[in-house]
Amino acid sequence: MLSFKYKCSLCDLEYEISPELMLCPDCSLKQKPRQPLNGVLEVELSGTLKSENPLDFLPVDRNFFPSIPVGNTPLWHPKNLSAKVGLSELFLKDDGVNPTGSFKDRASFLVAAFARKYQIKEIVVASTGNAGSSMAGVGAAAGLKVKLFLPKNAPPAKMIQSLQYGAEVVIAEKNYDQAFSLSLEYSKLYGGLNRNTAYNPMTIEGKKTISFELLQQLKKEPDHIFVSVGDGVIISGIYKGFRDLLKLDLIKNIPVIHGIQASGSSAIYRAMKSGFFDFSPSKTVADSISVDVPSNGLLAKKNLENYGGHCILVTDEEILLAQKELSSTCGLFSEPASATAYAGLLKQKELINKNETCVVLLTGNGLKDIKSANKKIIIPKNSINSLEHLVPIGKGD
């Protein structure tokens, strides 16, 4: 049997799990403006359990899970790419095949189950796009109402997707950081369960299922994992999963995790260099990791430092080229924030032994942002009426 508590990631104080509690009451009092959240809570697991199913290690019972197939995503070996980059044990984990097309479904799934357990009917969430569309879709499957705060510049596909699922969408005039504060204000005033990433502890906990799945699929822990970083919740979820597995005696080592940020949105990278979080407005083609103030910055940085992880930067150009290369060599069409992980692998590959097991975690489907994907392709200008002037396949320039 397993039991669960909350534990503050800053002061280590423990609390009973409850829907009223989001941040450590002590540490959150010391919150400064334009800084990552203080007092993010993590779920602390104790006990033992014999199970093959990653979902059995979550702090909400199975009967509250919405009936939508989140997770259990394919892990595969891309032969062409593996030969091209010279790494024999290269794997892609495609979380773009989740029901709403992104990794965010892992968090939304647990948040929805948690809301059902406590009979909460409305979820409030701020998002650059994917967390919102994910909560909208998974929420729809769970019979929940979703109020979504999106920044004005969110890619249209993500907003349309959310409206299709039936979410109520509010558009914040400025950016994601503004949407984040407005949504917190809203849920304090009008109630509902807030799903904001890192603020709601179930977001980190839901994302840990990836580590359990990787162990299940590879039959061992990988040596390296590459993942893009925005707010720093996915990376903390991965560490949380491997920490649980270590505690349960199911693995020996925590993999080396490479967190990749866009050079135009590099708050965690900068903080790892300088020791503190400075503020700088972000600008990158990878909208899903475009974050001025990473809400889970403190915990992401602490995890990377404690477990010998790396944080590196890639440019927008490198991201777009990585996106195109993944599509054209593997048939895996990924949104820019997702392809960022592969751009990071290309940067780090000299540090890796050829036969070490590397997993590139792909977090979002390419169709979510066709405007960016359009940048590295050429759409034919002219239409034709006959084959008269057409050049045969492979003979064109």
Ligand X SMILES: *Cc1c(COP(=O)(O)O)cnc(C)c1O
Binding site for ligand X (CB under 6 A): 102-104, 130, 197, 228-234, 288-289, 335, 337-338, 363-364
Least distance in angstroms from the C-beta of 101 to ligand X: 9
How far is CA 237 from each of CA 168, 203, 211, 338, rounded to the nearest angstrom?
Answer: 28, 8, 8, 16
Nearer to ligand X (CB atom), residue 113 or residue 362: 362
Q: How far apart are CA 242 and CA 245, in angstroms?
A: 5
Report how far residue 2's alpha carbon sits from residue 63's, in angstroms, rounded to the nearest whole number.
Answer: 16
Least distance from ligand X to the Cβ atom of residue 360, Å: 12
3-class secondary structure, 287 = helix
Q: Considering the complex, what minimum distance in angstroms separates the CB of residue 254 from ligand X?
A: 18
Residue 62 C-beta: closest distance to ligand X, Å: 25
Q: How far is the CB of 384 from ligand X (least distance, A)?
A: 37
Which CB atom, from 303 or from 357, has the smaller least distance to ligand X? 303
Whichever of 89 and 206 has its CB closer to ligand X, that residue is 206
Q: Residue 393 CB, nearest distance to ligand X (Å)?
A: 33
Query: Residue 108 or residue 363: which is nearer to ligand X going by CB?
Result: 363
What residue number has its CB nearest to ligand X?
A: 364
- C-alpha to C-alpha distance for 216 and 132, rounded to whole angstroms: 29
Question: Toward ligand X, which CB reaches closer, 93 or 116?
Answer: 93
> Please, which residue, 38 or 363, has the CB nearer to ligand X?
363
Q: How far is the CB of 202 from ligand X (least distance, A)?
A: 13
SS3 182: helix
52 torsion bin: left (phi>0), alpha (psi -120 to 50), beta (else): alpha
Look up residue 263 and give its DSSP letter: T
Indicate the helix (H) or strand (E) that contains 149.
Answer: strand 145-151
- As a whole number of angstroms, the distance between CA 225 and CA 242 comes to 12
> Residue 309: which of 238, 244, 207 has the closest Cα?
238
CA atoms of 113 and 128, how far apart (whole Å): 23
Q: Show the beta-strand stretches assigned E in 109-233.
A: 122-126, 145-151, 168-172, 193-194, 224-228
Query: What minimum distance in Å lies between the beta carbon of 246 and ligand X?
Result: 21
Would you give the DSSP letter of residue 353? -
End-to-end CA distance of the chain: 64
Q: Is the dihedral of CA 101, 105, 108, 113 positive or negative?
A: positive
CB of 137 or CB of 364, closer to ligand X: 364
Three-state DSSP class for 372? Answer: helix
Nearer to ligand X, 7 or 104 (CB): 104
